[in-house]
Amino acid sequence: MSKAASRIAFVSSDTADAKTALESLSARYGQSSVEEAGIVVALGGDGFLLQTLRDTMGTGKKVYG
DSSP 1-12: --HHHH-EEEEE
List residues with catalytic annotation. 46
- What SS3 class is residue 42? strand
